[in-house]
Structure 1
Amino acid sequence: MAPSIQDPANFPWNPNNIQFPSRKELPKLAGAPEGAAWVWGKDDYLGRLNLLTPQRVKEAISEVQTGEMVRLDLPLHIPEPPAFGRQPFEHKITELAPGIAYDDSYSLNTQSGTQWDGFRHCAHIQTQTFYNGTKPSDILGPTPTPNKCSIHHWAQHGIAGRAILLDYWTYAQTHSKAYDPYKRHPITLSELKACAQWQGLNLAPQSQGGDIKVGDILLVRSGFVHRYDSLSPADRKAGALRDSHTDMEWAGVSQGEEMKDWLHDCYFAAVAGDSPTFECWPAPAGEPTEFLHSSILALWGMPLGEMWDLEKLAERCRERGRWVFFLTSAPANVLGGVGSHANATAIL
């Protein structure tokens, strides 16, 4: 039987362990940025998805109670138009034989709607290094290395496991904490914990007596999709076409050391939210630490999802009084891929 507590210096780490080093206990790795958790092997491009072992997936199936399926992807053309000037979705139908047979083709930016940010999406800024030592020249250069940090590794491994929804939007609305998801609103760790307590959850890791299990998938509802659905087409367009990246503002998880410690130390297999950035955007001016994308993707190797449709899921979880469920996702099997639409389903 595998030991339950992971020795920080014993590489590669054993994904079946149930207790892992905290962010402060991470070993210093030669040639890696400070705080890198490149601990699953020299050629690893799964990162925290290593935690989704057959044993954990099998245990997570016990969370299925009714078998109801809730799709978590927005339609591929939503939001319309996409933010940050990204290419909108295009759908074309080709007639093969009149009245008998048709094909269709899609053209999309994988970051324009419900998505996974892959490990090629964002680097450790100071060193321009992606997860597990991948460099920009491996992604786009004279002799790229399409295998490094490619999204196809996730597709071939699979994403399935126990997931938890934190419905911060409803919590805030029912506790006189009104805000606009289209404005900068940092959701602090203390607020997430208060939301969880309201839902009957303890956000400490299971090893500390809480409800978070190693390998869980965290979903945070900040209200973006709810707000988007309430806007007119003109207001949706105005919100997406603000003048520059610095003018783009979204509610999301706050930056800072406390939040980073918690996100790291819970050993989530992945995190996702309904906003275009997951984290509060933009990061605070003069923030002493890097924004969360850099830590989550480049340092820890943790898949990051954005613009997930959590509306029906939140409604059903409230009705059931239960916020834990089984989740599956099938990223695109694209060699050299940077990101992917999520193809995600919650099974209650």
Structure 2
Amino acid sequence: MAPASSAADRLLQISNTLPATSTSARMQFDPNSNSFPLRKDLPAIPGAPKGAAWFWGADDQLGRVNLLTPARVKEAVKEVVTGETVPLNLEVSELKPCYGRETFEHTIKSIMPRVAFDDLYSMNTQSSTQWDGLRHVAHLSSEIFYNGCTQKDIIGPAANTKCGMQAWSQHGIVGRAILIDYVGYAGANNLPALDYYDNQSIPLSALVAAGKAQGIDVRPAAQGGDIRVGDILLIRSGFIKNYRSLSPEDRVRLHSKTAGFGDDDEQTYPGLEQTEEVLDWLHDCYFAAVAGDAPAFEAWPSKADFYLHEYILALWGCPLGELWDLEKLAAKCRESGKWTFLLTSSPANVNGGVGSHANAIAIL
């Protein structure tokens, strides 16, 4: 990679201004570029939390989805070999919701007896396969969401649609995706099984090893690896497979524990480790989106003094998926020996939406 200063000169152009309270200029990335600053080299943005990568324009609501350009989508289509489709969505009522969230309710309404019916849905988008949107979690210490969005933009008399799900929906999330099958690697190498109801951390070293076993170098392409700018990362921990092995009574018991935010949270789940090393990797790969099969993607609650959520969502504007069904996909990838594919997702087109069911499909 070129030195940060020359890369910045080459990639960033002054084209947007900050709000009227500042006279500084907002640098803007070229989404078609394949070379971007490392996390450690991100220039500061006046008025933004440290480490914010809000460089797609002062009015941007897409975040890392900007990387899914027509050129990258066209290139991603080349990943299709067999044309087989693998939906990645749980049946919406399969999972006992985590964190005290509402269960899905489905009512069938008769509009003309015997010949015509409607559906009525009541759901919390966080209760099944989902995208966390840019209004879901803020940078905790500053209480600022992506690109300067705040609570007053989301609820209250001045509420608006800034950074709502409609932006991702109207763009679409389509690109080259890569699956890292951590649980498959762990099982094949006789590693200790995860406790799916403890906040066990999956370190970057484990993902590196799992990737290597799949024939994938998980470093960014700029560093000699196989991860391309704009790739969509999927990580299989085995949470869904384990959940399906539980009795109905255990499902209710384990998912009904007291939910909080921090040390008092009794709902604990495995996921990515909260370390600077993991943050650097997630950022510097310039993933367009990340997702996993566990309830929180990261180990929950965090064992560090920060959460990956606040970086991925608030500082980088990257879609974060949870509770994806990766079981069939992992089996198909293992069978073919190919772990990259085309992924499509159509989030709900809801003005001001906080999150959405994923409507995700892998095309092999």
TM-score normalised to structure 1 length:
0.96
Q: Say whether residues 1:132 and 2:147 are aligned partners.
A: yes
Give the distance between the partners of 1:214 and 1:53, measured in 2 at CA: 11
CA distance 1:84–1:28, change in 2 (3 Å) = same
* 2:208 counterpart of 1:193: yes
Q: Distance in 2 between matches of 1:58 and 1:244?
A: 43
Distance of 1:272 and 1:78 partners within structure 2: 19
Shift of residue 12, structure 1, vs aligned partner: 1.6
On the 8 A contact 2:99/2:258 being kept in 1, the answer is no
* CA offset digits 1:249-278 (Å, max 9, x no partner): 111111110000000000000000000000
2:8/2:37 contact within 8 Å kept: yes
Name which of 73, 95, 118 aligns with 2:89: 73
Q: Deviation per CA, 1:189-229, whole angstroms, max 9, x where unpaired?
A: 01100000011100111112110000000000011100011
Matching residue within 51, 58, 63 for 1:47: 63
1:94-173 pair list within 5 angstroms: 94-146=109-161, 148-173=162-187
Distance in 2 (CA, whole Å) between partners of 1:111 and 1:67 is 30
Structure 1 equivalent of residue 268 of structure 2: 249
Aligned identity (percent) is 56
Q: Which residue of 1 aligns with 2:75?
A: 59
Contact 2:12 2:30 in 1 (8 A): no
Is the 8 Å Cα contact of residues 104 and 124 (structure 2) preserved in structure 1?
Answer: yes
Looking at structure 1, the residues matched to 240 and 12 of structure 2 have their Cα atoms a distance apart, in angstroms, of 43
Q: Does 1:216 align with 2:236?
A: no
Matches of 2:12 and 2:360 in 1, distance apart? 35
Give the residue type in structure 2 aligned to 1:206.
Answer: A
Deviates more, 1:236-245 or 1:192-201: 236-245
Deviations 1:80-111 (A, max 9, x none): 2x010101000000111111111111110011
Deviation at 1:338, TM superposition (A): 0.3
Q: Which ranges in structure 1 are unaligned for 5 or more consecutive residues?
A: none
- Provide the C-alpha distance between the structure 1 equivalents of 2:171 and 2:86, rounded to a whole number of angstroms: 22
User: Are the counterparts in 2 of residues 6 and 14 from structure 1 also a CA contact under 8 Å?
Assistant: no
Q: Which amino acid aligns with 1:158?
A: G
Which residue pairs with 2:336 in the alignment?
Answer: 320
Give structure 2 stretches of 5+ with no counterpart.
1-5, 14-26
What residue number does 1:302 align with?
A: 318
Aligned to 2:289: 270
Separation in structure 2 between the aligned mates of residue 209 and residue 6 of structure 1, nearest angstrom:
20
Q: Using the TM superposition, give the Cα deviation of residue 342 of structure 1 relative to its aligned residue in structure 2, in angstroms.
A: 0.1
Query: RMSD of aligned C-alpha atoms?
Result: 1.2
**Structure 2 residue aligned with 1:33:** 49
Once residues 275 and 182 of structure 1 are traced to their aligned partners in structure 2, the CA distance between those partners, rounded to angstroms, is 10
* SS state at 1:111 partner: helix
C-alpha distance in structure 2 between counterparts of 1:182 and 1:222, whole Å: 12
Give the distance between the partners of 2:312 and 2:335, measured in 1 at CA. Answer: 32
Amino acid in the other structure paired with 1:139: I
Q: Secondary structure at the match of 2:335?
A: helix
Contact 1:5–1:17 at 8 Å: present in 2 too? no
- Structure 2 Cα separation of the partners of residues 336 and 12 of structure 1: 24
CA separation in 2, counterparts of 1:318 and 1:9?
A: 40
Matched pairs, number: 340
- CA drift at 1:5: 4.9
Return the letter of the residue paired with 1:291: Y
Deviations 1:135-178 (A, max 9, x none): 101001122112x1101000001110000000001111121222
Check whether the contact 2:231–2:288 (CA below 8 A) recurs between aligned residues: yes
Which residue does the alignment assign to 1:19? 35
Query: Which residue is 2:195 aligned to?
Result: 180
TM-score under structure 2 length normalisation = 0.92
Would you identify which runs of 4 or more consecutive aligned residues in structure 1 move more than 3 Å?
4-9
1:9, distance to aligned residue in structure 2 (A) = 4.8
Distance between the aligned counterparts of 2:312 and 2:213, measured in 1?
27
* Structure 2 residue identity aligned to 1:149: C
Q: Is the 8 A contact 2:54 2:147 kept in 1?
A: yes
Matched residue, 2:108:
93
